[in-house]
Amino acid sequence: MFLDPNSWFGDNLVYPFVFLGTQLKKMGHKVNTIDMDKLENFDAIVFIEFPGINNPYFKKLIKNDFKNIYLIAQESPIIKPDNLDTKNHAHFKKVFTWNDPVIDNKKYFKLNYSHDIPKTFNFKTDKKNKLCTIIAGNKLAKHQGELYSERVKAIRWFERHHLEDFDLFGIGWDRYNFHGTFLGINIARLNRLTFLTKLLKPNYPSYKGKVKSKNETYKKYKFSICYENVRDIEGYITEKIFDCFLAGCVPIYLGASNITDHIPSNTFIDKRNFDTYEKLYSYIKNMPDKDYLDHINNIKLFLTSQKAYPFSAQYFADTIIKQITNE
């Protein structure tokens, strides 16, 4: 993870950790994942997401009263509800998180999903031959604020009304997704049966398959439906909106309730301003070229300004290094 920026999910998502490792090595520190050396050889250990009380490394560190344990809590409460439980933070010296309400710059420090942000941009709007897309995995969750179902709602609306202006990409749309329980049995286990999930797959006429590169795909579209996995959580701004920005694609955003505290409102389209997809479609379809170019220019201005620094790999590395090596 300190060598390959695409080692987990592709599209440079691990770049901030690669950059962090490089900076630490320049300072004379040795950097390893926890499985690559003996625990007693580490001066500090950073867990990415709460490891769980039964994690063998975590248990051993607690048993040995190891003091310099840190936590990067990035995942949403849908995926990792234990990340936000402050009781789970007792054994960590400091916690790095996007969660705005808890930031105190003493124990809790602001850390966004971070990116390799270039210094200059040359967005070619004349290369965009389609109106709108979604790039997302097909997922389900039982959570009051989940937005997986809202993505499906958007997809189905475009398929029914304006399929010619919309394409769907991502993993899992060509398979049935078992979820929930039946007679106390977790039927999600059936998702391992590929032949069965393929047999029962739903029909998504807009589906174009997986993408090799989000960046190259987004460059072909003017707009993208860009919804977080969960809505109305302060500070939870993932890579999704920046994937659009870095490709010169205008995001249609729904997610963090305080998004404009961190990202200028003139860089994206706020889905909250449209109570129907009919109104949203009419707005983007009939947007004058000048207004569209204004959005693109505003994205450039934001990405090349200090306002984007908190979302950069440089900020990611600076924040962690300062709080760990200055102890």
Local structure of residue 124 (DSSP, 8 states): -
pLDDT at 191: 66
Residues spanned by the domain of 259: 125-308
- Residues 43 and 181 both lie in one domain: no
pLDDT at 146: 93
Say what the pTM is. 0.88
Q: Which helix (H) or strand (E) holds 296?
A: helix 289-303
pLDDT at 35: 87
Decide if 298 is inside a domain: yes
* pLDDT for 301 beyond 90: yes
* pLDDT for 278 beyond 60: yes
Decide if 280 is inside a domain: yes
CATH (domain of 212) = 3.40.50.11660
What is the distance between the alpha carbons of residues 155 and 160, in angstroms, rounded to a whole number? 9
pLDDT at 101: 95
pLDDT at 172: 86
Q: Give the residue with greater pLDDT, 183 vs 64.
A: 64
Q: Which two tokens stand for residue 194?
A: 């590929």
Asked whether 158 and 280 are in contact (CB, 8 A), the reply is no
Summarised one tens digit per residue, pLDDT across range 134-169 is 999 988 777 889 999 999 999 999 999 999 999 999
- Residues 191 and 295 both lie in one domain: yes
What is the distance between the alpha carbons of residues 13 and 303, in angstroms, rounded to a whole number? 17
pLDDT at 5: 56
Q: Which two tokens stand for residue 216?
A: 């190259």
Decide if 199 is inside a domain: yes
Minimum mean pLDDT range among 150-154, 186-190, 308-312: 186-190
Residue (of 278, 258, 317, 245) closest to 15 by Cα position: 317
In sequence order, the 6+-apart residues with CB closer than 8 A to the CB of 230 are 76, 77, 78, 143, 145, 146, 147, 236, 255
Axis-axis angle for helices 15-26, 313-325 (nearest 10): 50
Local structure of residue 107 (DSSP, 8 states): S
- Total number of domains in the chain: 2
Mean pLDDT, residues 64-70 taken together: 93
pLDDT at 143: 80
Residue (of 26, 119, 110) closest to 316 by Cα position: 110
pLDDT band at 209 (very low <50, low <70, confident <90, very high): very high
Three-class secondary structure of residue 1 per DSSP:
coil
